[in-house]
Structure 1
Amino acid sequence: MEERKVSCILLEKTCKSDDKHSCREALLPKEKKKKLELVNYDSLPDYLKHNEFVVGHYRCEWPLKDAIHSVFAIHNETINVWTHLIGFFIFLTLTLYGGNKIPAMAEALYARQTNSLAGFSISSLTNTTGFMNHYQMTNLSSQPNPAITRWPLFVFLGGAMFCLLTSSACHLLSCHSEHTSYIMLHLDYAGISTLIVTSIVPQIYYTFACDPFYRAVYTATILALGLLTVLISLIPVFEKPEFRFVRSLVFVIMGLSGWGPIAHKLASYGGEPAALVTTMYEFFMNVCYGVGVVIYATRIPERWRPGKFDLVGHSHQLFHLFVIAGAYVQYLAIMVYLEWRDRVGCT
Structure 2
Amino acid sequence: MVGDSHDTFDFEGGNSVSLHKGKGKRLWKKVKYQLIGYHSLPGYLRDNEFILGYYRAEWPLKQAFLSIFSVHNETLNVWTHLIGFFLFLCLTIYTAMKAPAVMDLNSLQRLSDMVKGADLHKIDSELLNCLPPLPKMPGFHKLKDELRTSFPSVDFLSLLSDWHIVQLLTKCLPDRFPQHGVKDDVVNMVAPLMIQPITRWPIFTFLCGAMFCLLASSMCHLLSCHSEHLSCILLRLDYAGISALIATSFYPPVYYSFICDPFFCNLYLSIITVLALATIVFSLLPAFQKPNFRGYRASLFFGMGISGVAPIVHKLILYKHQPEALQTTGYEILMGVLYGLGALIYATRIPERWKPGKFDIAGHSHQLFHVLVVAGAYAHYQAGLVYLRWRDLKGC
- Report the TM range for the smaller structure's normalisation: 0.7 to 0.9
Residues 296/26 of structure 1: CA separation in 2 closer, same or farther (3 Å cut): same
Deviation at 1:262, TM superposition (A): 0.4
Deviation at 1:235, TM superposition (A): 2.1
Aligned length: 297
Deviation at 1:284, TM superposition (A): 0.3
Q: Which residue of 2 aligns with 1:50?
A: 47
Larger Rg, first or second structure (1 or 2): 2
Residues 192/273 of structure 1: CA separation in 2 closer, same or farther (3 Å cut): same
Q: Secondary structure at the match of 2:48?
A: coil
Deviation at 1:239, TM superposition (A): 1.1
Q: Which residue of 1 aligns with 2:263?
A: 213
Partner Cα separation in structure 2 for residue 105 and residue 314 of structure 1: 43
Q: Secondary structure at the match of 1:52?
A: coil
Deviation at 1:145, TM superposition (A): 2.2
Q: Which residue of 2 aligns with 1:68?
A: 65
Partner Cα separation in structure 2 for residue 242 and residue 35 of structure 1: 29
Deviations 1:187-236 (A, max 9, x none): 00000000001110111110111111111111111100000001111222
Q: Match for 1:247 among 297, 308, 318?
A: 297
The amino acid of 2:308's aligned partner reads G
What is the aligned-residue identity percentage?
Answer: 57
Partner Cα separation in structure 1 for residue 92 and residue 362 of structure 2: 30
The amino acid of 1:43's aligned partner reads S
The amino acid of 1:71's aligned partner reads I
Q: Which residue of 1 aligns with 2:327?
A: 277
Q: Secondary structure at the match of 1:67?
A: helix
Residues 178/105 of structure 1: CA separation in 2 closer, same or farther (3 Å cut): farther
Residues 49/255 of structure 1: CA separation in 2 closer, same or farther (3 Å cut): same
TM-score between the two structures when normalised by the length of structure 2: 0.72
Residues 105/296 of structure 1: CA separation in 2 closer, same or farther (3 Å cut): farther
Residues 342/58 of structure 1: CA separation in 2 closer, same or farther (3 Å cut): same
Q: Which residue of 2 aligns with 1:145?
A: 195
Deviation at 1:29, TM superposition (A): 8.1
TM-score between the two structures when normalised by the length of structure 1: 0.81
**Where do residues 163-312 of structure 1 align in structure 2 (5 Å cutoff)?**
163-312=213-362
Residues 177/164 of structure 1: CA separation in 2 closer, same or farther (3 Å cut): same
Structure 1: 5+ residue stretches without partners: 1-5, 12-20, 108-140
Q: Which residue of 1 aligns with 2:22?
A: 24
Residues 308/264 of structure 1: CA separation in 2 closer, same or farther (3 Å cut): same
Residues 160/106 of structure 1: CA separation in 2 closer, same or farther (3 Å cut): farther
Provide the aligned C-alpha RMSD in A: 2.1
Q: Is the 8 A contact 1:84 1:320 kept in 2?
A: yes
Q: Which residue of 2 aligns with 1:84?
A: 81
Partner Cα separation in structure 1 for residue 76 and residue 39 of structure 2: 22
Q: Is the 8 A contact 1:35 1:61 kept in 2?
A: no
Deviation at 1:244, TM superposition (A): 0.9
Deviation at 1:242, TM superposition (A): 1.2
Q: Secondary structure at the match of 1:275?
A: helix
Deviation at 1:243, TM superposition (A): 1.2
Partner Cα separation in structure 1 for residue 26 and residue 256 of structure 2: 62
